[in-house]
Structure 1
Amino acid sequence: MRRRKLLAGLAATAATPLLGSGTAQADEALLGELLVTRLRDAMLGLGTATAAPSSPEPLITDFTRALTDFDACRYASLAVRLPRLIRVGHALYTSGDTTEQHTLLAKSYLLATRMFVKMDEQQLGWMAADRARQLAESAGDVLAVAESARQLAVLARKAGWHDQALSIALSAADHPDLRGTGPAGTAARGLLVQSASYTLARRGDRDGMRELTDEAAAIAKQLGGATLLRDHGGGFGPLTVQLHRISAENHAGDPHAALDAARAISLKALPSVERRSRALGDIAVTYDRLGRRSDCIRTLLAAERCAPQETHARPATKSLISSLLVSGPTSTELRGLAERSGVLV
């Protein structure tokens, strides 16, 4: 009953203007499902069509707002704004509109892919990433093509296709087109090398992971320490490489090294709420693997304070909370977090 009411309420928001506030009042434990449902329907062309604006400026503005929603982990708002962007983008694409608008649709699909990866929706992720790649290639947007390749490599890795994930990421990193795009192209190459590093971590190749991570760190240093490509996976710079080390060391089997990497990070210096939430989530996993249960719970509660909608909606976090509930004594704090996240106590 609660879910039917939630979906009915969300359907009513579709009639709001394109540049409206985009907020949807929803049970945060169901936000992930809600966002996935809306994006899926928009990609399939289901639901009420949205009138296209007479110029691209409103779309550009709304995409910026959608990206801001993602970075701030405001998924209730994103569940309204991003599906609508895809609907309008397709309306313009089928009418044969400009290359700029095709690029914007590609970027909307890339943002959708990142959300599908978070929500562990691999089939829809493949669909969105491949559409992004085709749109980026047709528009000749070198950076969007590189980011599409990175997302495809992420999905291949999650499917267990490690050789293919490595090939996709490293081939894209070596593509000559990136050399002509200045610092942004160099940053895109760093992100792709970092992705390949993470694949090696998932394959258990600790030495290979560290070698490629060090290469990514050298690229970040070469760029002067700034965070570039903020709309590509949260950006690329020394801090984001260090954030990558936490999860990579964990998956390569060395949680002590992961904790050392976490200690070297200033959470306040990370470029977005989403990146800080990711860091806290990775640190919580590290504590769990080290058997430090109270530190793990404390870190999850910190992640909830930082980004409640992300913490309550993300399947990986729900899985960790569920594991904590059955692996040891519970507390009022843990049971409350589980309830707010829709995890059965």
Structure 2
Amino acid sequence: MKPIETALLSFGMSGRVFHAPFIQLHPGFNLQGSWERSKKNIENAYPGTSSYDSMESVLADPSIELVIVNTPIYSHFEYATAALKAGKHIVVEKAFTCNAAEAEKLVSLGKEVNKKIFVYQNRRWDSDFLTLKKVYESGVLGDIVEAEFHFDRYNPLMSPKRHKEDAGPGAGIVTDLGPHLIDQALHLFGKPTHVFADLRKTRPGTEVIDLFEILLYYPTLRVRLKSGYYFKEPIPAFQLHGTKGSFIKTRSDRQEVDLDKGHVPIGENWGVDAPSEYGLLHVDGNSPERVASEKGEYMAFYENVFQSLRYGTVPAVPGEDGIASMRVIDATYESLEKQAVISY
């Protein structure tokens, strides 16, 4: 079967770590190259690929079937729109867009031109989240009454990437790390009824929000999402508390670290969690026990893209999921502005 000819719109950290290795490795894809504005690195990293001088040259290449929109968030809507109009299927990095209105327009356009949209929510395939999901779906905790997800770091320094630090559309931690937690929560629990948020600026001189706490309300459940840059001592990244017990788990998936070191994402040890990082399950009537982690596997995302484009399989993370996440983000900023609980 003809491989899916694929091009990136950026070969920075995102392209080098999260996309190119899987596109290159999967037999159903062929990595054509990437748009590179200044540094020309992809041809050295992947001999036989091309460094395109402009996005227009990428979109004008009739052989390219799939375009990865992994540029700064503020550009997602513009570039994804151009790619769809050029007749390309698209994978769009998180955050999907800057707001829900843009997300809705993209999904509508995709249907109009009969092209598929995939939102890159790779953290659904982290080993820690897959373990949490397995415990949740087993029902061993009974009815969940509260869940808490964190994406915490200790990094008080500003990013050298100005698009992350200059105040403007798509900047700040809510659209940087927030989409991971929001998508995981919606994936497990569905759409909330209400949203409340506490957003703050904590680093000296910062122009953007760098600490958030978002509460998602459900009829019988509350979900707390939190992220910031002043967490020197890690706390459990995942907590589930139910009528029969609790499960807590560290953020321990090693895929990003190993990919950044240049490791090839294959082998029986890929995505395997260390036993020291196993989650703790404590169910009423039993002693606390460690739960072996599931195997992390980012390749599952691209396998789904392949299956969807070649065999019509439903996208694992369709554009509609991107809309749902952006509606939470919109409600988050509205909550800050109004200091109120917002209907979803």
Q: Normalising by structure 2, what TM-score?
A: 0.28
- The structure in which a higher percent of residues are helix is 1
| Structure with the larger RCO, 1 or 2 (CA within 8 Å, 6+ apart) | 2
Q: Normalising by structure 1, what TM-score?
A: 0.28
